[in-house]
Structure formats: structure tokens, C-alpha cells
Structure 1
């Protein structure tokens, strides 16, 4: 099951995107509808609200009088907390029931207005944010919903900013155009990313890219941050630290469009114990490098014990965001070198330039093997001499500067 979080500011058009996705086959769980359902007449929720706030919150027909509830429940923080203590657990329980009732191969879209405000992004495989400029949203609320302008602006001000939503978004859907303008974009997203992502997640398939360099993308750090939040959720106490490493962690450096992340663990056994949780989260195991390998290509720098370079490598199931996740043991040379290389390249412009040239040469070598399936191995072999020398130079830089993997 693929779980998608859908959000956006009031008036942005989340319901439009929900409708399109539902028509395409998604299972949509609307948190606003759930919140209304759990306080319908005869429900546990309505009875609890009446017990907490009194009969004055009811209409003559026994239904909830929402303005009356707002008058008594939003007057102060204590009352708001009492309201949330009643409603939130019920909404959470009903949402869980709806999600768990979906088919194993479903794409479940949870429409959550306050997803960003609640910092819930890591709970989902992807977060979709629907965007419309604030002034246009005010216009739509006033002209199409009949909302007083001061009320519309107050509601916008109480929600997350566009910058906060953009930082949380794996997919940014601009709904500023005419009615129907998003249909083709959402359909392409469904067919090219969501459906393949669900299949990969279910079958344990990993997305791999050929060695091709892309221009430096200033959004790589934000993409890595969202990925790391999901990895922390999957690993829990099994991870000691999780870091963005590799070329995409070095600002301005051309790189393969693959986010590299290192998960530091206490032992190889701890790394192996995380294989199941990571696979369930969409990051299956793709490689186990051990000291039993006859000629490990990772034993750079002349370290005497090759076992200290052991690692586990996981990939990602998302076609729209290839990743490589390395699990290494705390304090071992491979773990330290991943952090050291990143920091050295960030600090040393000459080293960055040399590394980039080495990568360009490696890409040209790999291109010759593009049709043989050996391009990735050729790329790694071409870079190996640079890494061997780079290890020594990085260690010298660390000694001069007093670097440590803090």
C-alpha cells in the first residue's frame, strides 16, 4: 500500500486534486469528512462533546451546532485542548480503520489540511502540496464561497506559509490556472510515479539510474531532509545518526541525481536488523559488502582490516526520487570517510574541481558500457583511483583542521 499525504492552504483546490485521483483509482480519506463523521448524531464523539461543553452546542434537531461549539471551544487554549482531546483520537481511530480497510495494492491519499502544521510528512511515502497564490485564494474564498474577506485573510494567516509548504512538498502542484488545468498533470503523476511507486513498494523493486551527471540542484538538501525524516521513522533507535552524504550534499557540485544518505549503526548486526523496517518503508536491501568478498573495491586508503569497510546498501522504490542508503558502523573507516569526504569537498574548491573532472571521465567510460549492464561498475572502477588518493588527502585535511564527525 502506498500512502500519500495531500495538503494545501484553504482555497487552493485540494478537493479538485482528490477528485481527480479518486477518479483514477486512488482511495481518498478526507480528514474533514472524517471529523464530521465522528460527531454525527448518535456517535460516541457527539456524546463526549456534549458531556464536555454542554447541551448548548446542539441544534434543535440534535445535530452539532458548529458555530456554538466554536464559541465555547476556541475562546482559550484550555478549551481548545479539551476539544482536541475529544475529537483527535476519534479522527485518528477512524482514519486508521479506513486506511487499513484499503486493498494491499491501493494508493491511499489522505487529504489533511494541517499536514504541514502538524509535521506529519514523514508518515507518508510522498507529500503532495496544492498551491495557489494567497491573493487568488482570498478571491476564491470571497467570490466563490461567500466568505467575508477579513475571515478569509484570518484563516490564511493561521495556516502554514507557502515557504513552509514548499519545504514539505515532494510534489508541488500549481493550481493557479483555469478550471481543469491540473487534470493532465495529476494524471501523469498517477501513471508515471504513483502507480509504479506502489508496485515497486509491494514487490521490493529498486529504482536505479545510469551514471549521468546532472546540474547541481539547490533543492537536493530539502529532498534529503524529507528522506532522512522518513528514515528516522523507519529506523527508530536502530540508527545512531542519519546524514546526507555524497555529491548531492556538496553545494554547487554536479552529481548523479541520486540522494545519498548514510545511516550510522552500532554494529553490522544492527544494520541487518533494519533490513525489514527499511524495506517496508520503501527502501529495500540491494547489496551487502562484507570482508569475505575477494577484492573489495571499497577498501581504499590501505586500511589493514577490510572488515571495517563492511556496509549494507539500500535503494528506493520511488521512480521520482532515486536514493542510495548506506548503513555503516559508527567509527569504522567507511562511516568516517563518508562524512569526511563531504566536509572536505565543501571546504576545498580545488578538491571539488578535481573530483568533478574525475566524475566526468568516469561517466564517459561508463557510457561505453551503457548497453552491457556494466555501466555502474565501470563508473565505480574509474573513480576508484581518485578515491584512493582522496582518502589520504582528506585525512591530511582533517588533521590540519581538527575535523571530527560531530
Structure 2
């Protein structure tokens, strides 16, 4: 089952996206609908609200008077949080019930207006953000919803900003040009990513990366993508998990294959094997075969590890699962930090990449050809570590 979070600012068009996804076959769980359901007359949720805010928040028919309640909590942070403590746990419980009832191969889309504010992004396999220009949103709110300009602006400003939503977004859908364009984006997302992601997740297989080598210019989006993936792993595995962004995409300004390298630290390879199923359920299925690191001069020559890929076809990921303190674990962190800190080393690596990429069109051959460079980098990085007192960081910030 693929769990998707859907969010967007008021007036951006999130509900239109949800409707289109439902037409394609998604199971939609609407947090707004559930928040009304859990405070219907006769529910304990409504009883708690009345006990806290008084009978003045009820209509003559005994239903919740939302404008009256809104007047009590708008601008009052403590009152708003008290209301959330009543509603949110009930919405989460009802969401869990509906999710459990969905088919094993379902694509379940949780429509959550305050997904970012509630810190829920890492609990989904993928997050979709719908956005539109502020002027477009104001026009929709005043024209279609009958708000005054001041009311519309206040509602927009009361929510988190676009930058915060984009930071957690795996997919951004822009809705400035009408439903036809929006539907085309949703249909392409469904066809090219969500359906394949669900199938890969269910079958515990990773999206293929292809054998052909492609070195691309530095992408400022790599660190944010890595942060989203790391947050999912930490959320799924629990507190105390160490996950790092490593490799070339972790070094600002360095050309790289468009592959995010991550490293999960474990105490033993037995623990790594015990975590394999949980990582697969999070969207990081184990890759078959025997995997090891070149120990770069350390006794033993190689050091075993486990490798996982990513089921999401929108990402290309290598998740290295290494024993903390092993030569491969140390070298991955040392090389990253050395290249970040020493411009000359970074420039030399970029030049080596460019030269080797001209001679090797396949990733495997390119990786093998880089080994002599890695040997030299290991020696230079060790000298740098000794000179600076470098020590491995405990986890990615």
C-alpha cells in the first residue's frame, strides 16, 4: 500500500487534485471531512469542545457552530492548540481505520491541509504539494468562496509559507492555469510515478537506474531530496537512527551522477538484515547480491555491507548499510567532509570525473576506473584528518 500525503495552501487547488486522483483510482482520506465527522452531535469529541469552550459554540440544532468556534481560537495560540488536542487524535484514529480497510495494492492519498504544520511529511512514502501564486489564490477565495480581500489574505497568512511546503515536497503541482493543465499534471504523475511506485513497493523491488553513465552539473536540490529521504528512514526506524547523506551529491558544487547516496549506520550486519523488511516497507528495498567496500589499505582488503535501493521511480538512490566504525563507514564520511572542506581536492575530483566519463560510458566501468583515484584520496583525506583532528559526525544534521 502506497501512502501519499497531499497538501497545499488555501485556494491553491488541493481539493481539485484529490478529486482527480480519486478518478484515477486512489483512495482519498480527507482530513477536513474527518475533522467534521469526529465532532458530529453525539460524539465525545463535540462534548469535549463544549466542555472547554462553552455552549456558545453550538447552533440551535446542537451542531458545532464553526464560525463561533473559529472566533474563539483565531489569534489565540493556546486555544487553538487545545482544540487540536481534541480533534487531531480522533482524526488520526479514524485515518488509521480507513487505511486499514483499503486494499493491499491501494494508493491511499491523505488530503491534509496542515500536513507541514503538523510535522507529518516523513510519515508518507511521498508528499504532493499543490501551489498557486498568491494573487491567483486571493482571486479564488474572494470570487468562489465569497471572502473579503482582508479575510482571504488573513487565511493565507495564517498558514505556513510556500517555501516550507516545498521543503517537504517530493512533487510540486502548479495550479495557475486552470483545471485542464492541472489534470494533465496529475494524470502524468499517476501514470509515470504513483502506479509504478506502488507496484515496486508491494513487490519489494527498487526502481532501475540503468547502466549508462551520466554525470550532471551540481544540483542545489540534492541536499533537500536527501533530507526528505533521511527523514522517512528515521521516522520509520525510530529514534537514535544514524543516517547520512554521502557521496558526490553531498558535496556542494561537485558534478555527480544523479544518484543520492545515503548511509545507514548499524552495530552489526545481523542488525542490518533485521532491518531489511522495515526498510523495504518504507520504500527502500534490499538489493540482492554480495556487497562490500574497498577498505583502502585497512587489513582485510574489503569490508562487507548491505545495499538498498528506492522503490520511488522519481528518485535514484543507493542506501549503503554499514557497520559503524568500519573502514567503509569511516571513509564515506571522511571523503565527503574532506571534499567539502578542501577546494583543491574537490576540483581534482571533478576533473577526474570529467576525464573518466569521456572514456567510460557504463557506470560499472566508470566506478572501477575511479579506484586508483580513491586510493590517492584515502591517503590525502587521512593526512587532512590527522592535521585537523577530524572525527566522524554522529548523524546528518
TM range (shorter): over 0.9
1:319 counterpart residue number: 313
Q: Does the aligned pair in 2 maintain the 1:300–1:388 contact within 8 Å?
A: no
| 2: CA distance, partners of 1:337 / 1:63 | 63
Give the 3 Å change call, closer, same or farther, for CA 231–51 of structure 1 in structure 2.
same
| 1: CA distance, partners of 2:369 / 2:301 | 21
| In the alignment, structure 1 residue 397 sits paired with structure 2 residue 384 | yes
Matches within 5 A, 1:179-218: 179-209=179-209, 210=211, 211-218=213-220
How far does the alpha carbon of each residue in 1:96-118 deviate from its partner, in whole angstroms, 9 at most, with x for none?
11111111111111111111111
1:99 counterpart residue number: 99
How far does the alpha carbon of each residue in 1:29-54 deviate from its partner, in whole angstroms, 9 at most, with x for none?
11111111112223332233334333
Count, aligned residues? 391
| In the alignment, structure 1 residue 381 sits paired with structure 2 residue 368 | yes
2:274 counterpart residue number: 273
Q: CA shift at 1:319, angstroms?
A: 0.3
| 2: CA distance, partners of 1:146 / 1:73 | 22
Matches within 5 A, 1:231-250: 231-237=233-239, 239=241, 241-250=242-251
- Ranges in structure 2 where 5+ consecutive residues have no aligned partner: none
**Range with bigger deviation, 103-112 or 230-239:** 230-239
Q: Normalising by structure 2, report the TM-score.
A: 0.93
How far does the alpha carbon of each residue in 1:178-225 deviate from its partner, in whole angstroms, 9 at most, with x for none?
332211111011000000000000001112323311221111011111
Matches within 5 A, 1:111-150: 111-150=111-150
Matches within 5 A, 1:14-163: 14-74=14-74, 76-163=76-163
| 2: CA distance, partners of 1:288 / 1:263 | 18
Give the 3 Å change call, closer, same or farther, for CA 75–165 of structure 1 in structure 2.
closer
Q: Normalising by structure 1, report the TM-score.
A: 0.91
1:371 counterpart residue number: none
| In the alignment, structure 1 residue 303 sits paired with structure 2 residue 320 | no
Q: CA shift at 1:82, angstroms?
A: 3.2
Q: Does the aligned pair in 2 maintain the 1:235–1:277 contact within 8 Å?
A: yes
Q: Does the aligned pair in 1 maintain the 2:295–2:301 contact within 8 Å?
A: no
| 1: CA distance, partners of 2:203 / 2:30 | 28
The alignment partner of 1:270 has SS state of: helix
1:293 counterpart residue number: none
Q: Does the aligned pair in 2 maintain the 1:265–1:330 contact within 8 Å?
A: yes
